[in-house]
Amino acid sequence: MRKREEMTLLKLLNFLHVLMLSVFTGAADGYYFYTWTQCIYSSPDLRDMELIESFCFNKYPVLRFNSTVGMFEGFSDFGVKTAENWNNDTNLLQQTLAKVYTFCKANAKVYEAAIYRKKERPEVRLTSVMPGDSTHPALVKCSVYDFYPPPIKVYWLKDGEEVTSDVTSTEELPNGDWYHQIHSVLEYTPKSAENISCVVEHASFTRPMIYDWTPPAPGFEWDIRLLFTVESAALLLGIITATVGYIYYKIKTWS
């Protein structure tokens, strides 16, 4: 799998609470006070979980608590005084620090199970883009749909050997519903008894999945059209013959 699949992603949970106080009743504008709680971690076992809780007024930070520091920090005169008072309150510091476990880690476990560890097996389709023959190249497309997480590897095999040229692939394309898709096109010259396969590696698979390409029989579509043409001509000839015979019979009868 690719390098970036092996890298640990920084994960962030955001929770924003806004309180609006209007100067005049019914006024559109007002004073905004809000708290912004961030839970930041990268390790699967959540051991590096960090809580950052910010208190802001009209977009300006007033006060902030960082669990790594273990104290409140002020950014205005009011914030500095408040931080000093709150830092002297041992019970408040312990309660705020406990949010790392009661709030951050508790929610992170839910998110991990529902999102980060979610694995959805892809749907793979092989289709002919352009038929070919011994003198003209053919194009075959391997489309992979509705997979999660997005890291995936798609490549081609020709008689068991990986194809390193004449391949055009897209990046992982988001569907907008958490799922993704990717497409890869191979250009090749059809040869007798040649085996072509599309290989997909994804976190939802325990091993690489191989999908063999079976090209349509040469001239198949032409044979079908020819068959319908011959049948139509035979039917038309039969109708004409029957009509001529009927007219000849009536002429003989009247005479």
Report pLDDT for 191: 83
Separation between Cα atoms, residue 2 and residue 7, nearest integer Å: 9
> Does residue 52 have a pLDDT over 50?
yes
Indicate whether 197 pLDDT > 70: yes
Section 35-39 average pLDDT: 91
pLDDT at 8 over 50: no
Q: What domains are defined for the chain?
A: 3-116 (3.10.320.10), 123-213 (2.60.40.10)
Q: pLDDT category, 193, cuts 50, 70, 90?
A: confident
Q: What is the pLDDT of residue 135?
A: 74
Tell me, what's the pLDDT at 200? Answer: 97
- Give the pTM: 0.51
Residue 64 predicted with pLDDT over 90: yes
Q: Residue 228: pLDDT band by 50, 70, 90 thresholds?
A: very low
SS3 sequence of the chain: CCHHHHCCCCEEEEEEEEEEECCCCCCCCCEEEEEEEEEEECCCCCCCCEEEEEEEECCEEEEEEECCCCEEEECCHHHHHHHHHHHCCHHHHHHHHHHHHHHHHHHHHHHHHHHHCCCECCEEEEEEEECCCCCCCEEEEEEEEEEECCCEEEEEEECCEECCCCEEECCCEECCCCCEEEEEEEEECCCCCCCEEEEEEECCCCCCEEEEECCCCCCHHHHHHHHHHHHHHHHHHHHHHHHHHHHHHHHHHHC
Given a cut of 70, is residue 24 above it in pLDDT? no
The residue with greater pLDDT, 221 or 168, is 168
- pLDDT over 70 for what percent of the chain? 73
Q: With a cut of 50, say whether residue 226 has pLDDT above it.
A: no
Tell me what pLDDT residue 19 has. Answer: 58
